[in-house]
Structure 1
Amino acid sequence: MLDSINIFLGFYFIVMGCITYKLFIWPYFISPLRKIPGPPSDSLIYGNLKTLMKEESGVPQLGWVEEHGKVITFHGLFNKPKLYIADAKLIQEILLNKAYDFIKPPSVAIISLIGRGLILAEGEDHKRQRKMSNPAFTYSNIKEMVPSCVRVASTLKDLIEDKINSGETNINLTPYISKATLDVIGLVGFNYEFNSLTSPNELAVAYDSIFNSPVTPLRIALNIISNYIPLVREIPLEPNKRFKNACEVSSRVSKRLVEERYNEAKNEELKGRDLLSLLININNKLPAEEKMSDEELKYQIMTFLFAGHETVGISTCWALYSLAQHPHEQDSLREELVKAFPDKSKFNPTYDDINSLEYLNCVVKESLRLNPPASTIVRTNLKDEVMENYFIPKNTEISLGILALHKSTEVWGPTADNFDPKRWLDTSLTKNVSNLNYLPFLTGPRNCIGSKVALTEFKVLLSMLIRNFVFKPIEGFHIRKRSFPAPKPDPYLGLAVSIVES
């Protein structure tokens, strides 16, 4: 009996010793990151996570930079020390000069949802996938996607117009824009008619269940803990059921689309200019060692669905929100659009038309500056590094502060926090702007391959909406920015909408 008690006590003290070391001794007395300034940990368990997740805290990293500098230590789950960097030169080193020495830390949730396509592939796999995919994103291919963007934008316009004509002026625009961007990526990505704007679609429903459902502490906890203990996704909880269904639907739809295009290719009928058809035709001409596997092609679809759908939808929502808050800027953009397209019933721009609009370009750039698709991106170093004379041990999780760069007064002046599209017409300011301090689509070999597609779709949707409608805030309705699972307007983008008659 005594031996059993001694064994138990020994095991207990070993476990408690490991926990104490992990939560307290390592972060405060041993980790090299302890020498780097930063905010104090709020909790031995949660670190600074609660502060990061609080809606009322905004983007606390901006305050950290102001107080502690551009290289900061903060604490994650179980008090794990992490690095936050808002220095343009260091970010250049990580994203441009040593892109493959800093990998994306594995996320069970994202891998399950989109697979290891271009976003999550690493090293030689990423280089091969990127090289093979580049020819699909040429100017000649992208300009042929514009009519599909215009067609979906027109459907979106008609639906909003119908709601207004039926007497509804305060409109929740989030689901409309989300479905519109899904329909566009279906057409330009796979020549597939999702038609989610006008009819129920299982993929739209599945995505909506994880991206637009309420954010709860349980959802956040499951997402974080699953990176350490993947089996928690098997617990039959409602957030897990929604997530697993979205993964299953995305995988099944992607597999079906690949099979359909392969069958067309076998019959020499694959003539489409959508991204998937282009990729398959390119792939079929490559030597075996450069080809993508069927599984990798499926991952590209899942990646396009996720990235092309969510990022453009979020960006369009925030642009409308900013223009509603700044009616003079909205009027200026509408004046440019009216001049370019006097008859709104004949709004049918080409790629060159939409990219020639100077003020539209300013509005889009400014909106992406203040609301980049990802305000922070995360990397992990594969080997020891020295940054700003600090030793950074390998496998350190490093957050790159994109929004901190976008709001730096050193680059953008004292009005860096303000929505001011005209700043992009100021050559004394723009001469200091580069792909090292303005990074809505990142930079280097891992930048967004579909950025020109996304920008084109964004501009077409925004132009259609501003040319046809006036957007104003709803009195008494407050919109916040939530940080999880995507930086969307919370609880939704609700605006008062009226029709432009002339």
Structure 2
Amino acid sequence: MLLVAALFFAVFLYFFLKKNRTKNDKSFPQPPGNILLGHILYITSTTHILDVAKKNFSYGNTVTLRFGPDICPIRKGLVTQDYNLIQFILNSRKLIKKSENYIFLKKWLGNGLLISDGDYWKRHRKILTPAFHFEILKNFVEVFEAAGDVLMEKLQKYDEVATVDLDILITLYTLDVICETAMGTKINAQSGQNIAYVESVRNMCKTVIERAFSPIKVFDQLYWLTGDYYKQQKALKILHDDVLSISELREEVDTFMFEGHDTTASGICFALYCLADHPEVQEKVFQEQKEIFEDWKNPETTYSDLQKMKYLECVLKETLRLYPSVPVIGRYTTEEMNFDGYVIPKNTNIVIFIYGLHRNPDYFPEPEKFKPERFENFNNSLPFSYIPFSAGPRNCIGQKFAMLEMKSVISKIVRQFEIKPTVPRHEVQLSPETVLKSGNGVKVTLKKRD
């Protein structure tokens, strides 16, 4: 009897969903999915996300995905790597609300700049923007360099060791930098203090993404029954401990602490990984350093010196093309939108697949190849084809800060070490855990330069 009832309910739900599909479902292709759970079961690990996304895009550059029935907190929406739709979304001053999947970050980041919207977001964005003026950024170079010197000391012991995993070393460096620059506080993460913070960030990022793809964890009513809930609570206690109690300020501090170190660490790690794989590129970076600095090993680096590193900047841009620190971003429609003959209903989640956009051969010939030279004369006639820091009103407030920090530490490492691939070569397992990571670390070999 129970089986009959279950089958009846399944059939009823299928036809109910089919009947109530919006015009949008008919307009944009929908890959085959489970009748009840849609596409939510197709991703069993964060390392599967990119491969599943590529398969879905075989149906079109914009597809409709469904994550469970309509009672699911994150129901259905569009996933796109279509240039015109991305331009339409990111240029819009109406489409500034983040998609519903960001809700899982709310207990951590509250109503900080990453998640907030409307007048609240506009007010905070206006208040915080002057903090990234280039005159202020100049003063941060000393912090980049001092933290980088500590990192160099740490890396000395890995000279000609078969493998060094850059992930944790670089993350601790960027954590030291963001705390001293944004908060004026030295936390000495590279000296072994506050490592629990880094691990908590990592756990939060992973559990947040895994929760979005779980038919059980996606519901608050069921989430507390899982082990991830208690792992999250433990991480939140560490992340919120000893932070300023004024709620709005704490939320922005939490946001800056997360976005200001984890995204930058990702970019640095993947850049060094690419340099290890491409010795001819690394040699050009090294020669540029020697041209800029007379004492090329241990110079006193200034803001002006970092601005001269044009080829290294191309390397970083190409790295962020192949390995964007934030590979997907999301928006949410608060009203019905019309785009190129399509109707996008109100309350639609739209996911922008930056990772796929950046590997489109229409915009980047030989897209899988690492070719920094493509940015030496980059044609910006299609500005939304390359958006590692997003674009439009909600672009990344700290992108200039991030580029300066990455230049500072990579130039220092290249001057001190030759970076080589491991033997056998380490293959990264890309895992979008809010920030793009490698599920098996980012491993290279270092050889001290004479």
| TM-score normalised by structure 1 residue count | 0.80
Equivalent of residue 308 in structure 2, options 353, 356, 381: 356
Q: Which aligned pairs between 1:12-91 and structure 2 lie closer than 5 A?
A: 20=11, 22=13, 25-27=16-18, 30-35=21-26, 36-41=28-33, 44-45=36-37, 47=39, 49-51=41-43, 53=45, 55=47, 58-65=50-57, 67-78=58-69, 80-91=75-86
- After TM superposition, give the deviation of residue 322 of structure 1 in Å: 1.2
- Residue of structure 2 equivalent to 1:329: 281
Q: Is the 8 A contact 1:40 1:74 kept in 2?
A: no
- Residue of structure 2 equivalent to 1:142: 137
* 1:486 aligned onto 2:429: no
Task: Write the distance in 2 (CA, Å) between the matches of 1:236 and 1:47.
Answer: 21
* 1:132 aligned onto 2:127: yes
Consecutive unaligned residues of structure 2, counting only runs of 5 or more, are none
* 1:371 aligned onto 2:323: yes
* 1:465 aligned onto 2:375: no
- After TM superposition, give the deviation of residue 347 of structure 1 in Å: 3.0
* 1:418 aligned onto 2:413: no
Q: How many equivalent pairs are there?
A: 443
Task: Write the distance in 1 (CA, Å) between the matches of 2:103 and 2:327.
Answer: 21
Q: Is the 8 A contact 1:381 1:397 kept in 2?
A: yes
- Residue of structure 2 equivalent to 1:269: none
- Residue of structure 1 equivalent to 2:174: 181
Q: Is the 8 A contact 1:222 1:232 kept in 2?
A: no
- After TM superposition, give the deviation of residue 158 of structure 1 in Å: 1.1
Task: Write the distance in 2 (CA, Å) between the matches of 1:222 and 1:384.
Answer: 25
- After TM superposition, give the deviation of residue 454 of structure 1 in Å: 1.2
**Secondary structure of 1:132's partner?**
helix
* 1:230 aligned onto 2:230: no
For residues 412-435 of structure 1, the C-alpha deviation after alignment (integer angstroms, 9 at most, x for no partner) is 12x12211001112x3x524342x
Q: Is the 8 A contact 2:170 2:269 kept in 1?
A: yes
Q: Is the 8 A contact 2:95 2:332 kept in 1?
A: no
Change (3 A) 1:49 1:141: farther
Change (3 A) 1:342 1:478: same
Q: Which aligned pairs between 1:203-282 and structure 2 lie closer than 5 A?
A: 204-211=195-202, 220-221=210-211, 224=214, 228-235=218-225, 237=227, 239-255=228-244
- Residue of structure 2 equivalent to 1:299: 251
* Worse overlay, 175-184 or 50-59: 50-59
Task: Write the distance in 2 (CA, Å) between the matches of 1:469 and 1:28.
Answer: 63
- Residue of structure 2 equivalent to 1:391: 343
Change (3 A) 1:491 1:61: same
- What RMSD over aligned residues (CA atoms) do the two structures have, in Å? 3.0
Task: Write the distance in 2 (CA, Å) between the matches of 1:442 and 1:424.
Answer: 18
> Which has the larger share of helix?
1
Corresponding letter in the other structure for 1:445 = P
Change (3 A) 1:308 1:54: closer
- After TM superposition, give the deviation of residue 227 of structure 1 in Å: 7.4
- After TM superposition, give the deviation of residue 188 of structure 1 in Å: 0.5
**Secondary structure of 1:107's partner?**
helix
Consecutive unaligned residues of structure 1, counting only runs of 5 or more, are 1-7, 257-293
**Secondary structure of 2:433's partner?**
coil
Task: Write the distance in 2 (CA, Å) between the matches of 1:494 and 1:212.
Answer: 21
For residues 174-215 of structure 1, the C-alpha deviation after alignment (integer angstroms, 9 at most, x for no partner) is 1100111100001101011111111231xx313314516996
Q: Which aligned pairs between 1:159-178 and structure 2 lie closer than 5 A?
A: 159-164=154-159, 168-178=161-171
Q: Is the 8 A contact 1:172 1:493 kept in 2?
A: yes
**Secondary structure of 2:367's partner?**
coil
Change (3 A) 1:64 1:221: closer
For residues 101-128 of structure 1, the C-alpha deviation after alignment (integer angstroms, 9 at most, x for no partner) is 5433253431112221111111010011
Change (3 A) 1:34 1:310: same
Task: Write the distance in 1 (CA, Å) between the matches of 2:270 and 2:14.
Answer: 39
Task: Write the distance in 2 (CA, Å) between the matches of 1:154 and 1:99.
Answer: 45
- Residue of structure 2 equivalent to 1:267: none
Corresponding letter in the other structure for 2:31 = P
Task: Write the distance in 1 (CA, Å) between the matches of 2:169 and 2:61.
Answer: 39
Task: Write the distance in 2 (CA, Å) between the matches of 1:394 and 1:219.
Answer: 24
Task: Write the distance in 2 (CA, Å) between the matches of 1:386 and 1:162.
Answer: 59
**Secondary structure of 1:304's partner?**
helix
- After TM superposition, give the deviation of residue 163 of structure 1 in Å: 3.3
- After TM superposition, give the deviation of residue 324 of structure 1 in Å: 1.3
> Who wins on radius of gyration, i.e. which is larger?
1
Change (3 A) 1:487 1:28: farther
- Residue of structure 1 equivalent to 2:397: 449
Task: Write the distance in 2 (CA, Å) between the matches of 1:431 and 1:108.
Answer: 34
- After TM superposition, give the deviation of residue 479 of structure 1 in Å: 2.0
Corresponding letter in the other structure for 1:136 = A
* 1:105 aligned onto 2:54: no
Task: Write the distance in 2 (CA, Å) between the matches of 1:479 and 1:374.
Answer: 17
Q: Is the 8 A contact 1:74 1:84 kept in 2?
A: yes
Task: Write the distance in 1 (CA, Å) between the matches of 2:408 and 2:13.
Answer: 51
- Residue of structure 1 equivalent to 2:268: 316
Task: Write the distance in 1 (CA, Å) between the matches of 2:362 and 2:61.
Answer: 12
- Residue of structure 2 equivalent to 1:273: none
**Secondary structure of 1:121's partner?**
coil
- After TM superposition, give the deviation of residue 365 of structure 1 in Å: 0.7
Task: Write the distance in 1 (CA, Å) between the matches of 2:95 and 2:347.
Answer: 14
**Secondary structure of 1:483's partner?**
strand
- After TM superposition, give the deviation of residue 352 of structure 1 in Å: 2.2
| TM-score normalised by structure 2 residue count | 0.89
* Worse overlay, 55-64 or 31-40: 55-64
* 1:405 aligned onto 2:357: yes
Change (3 A) 1:140 1:158: same
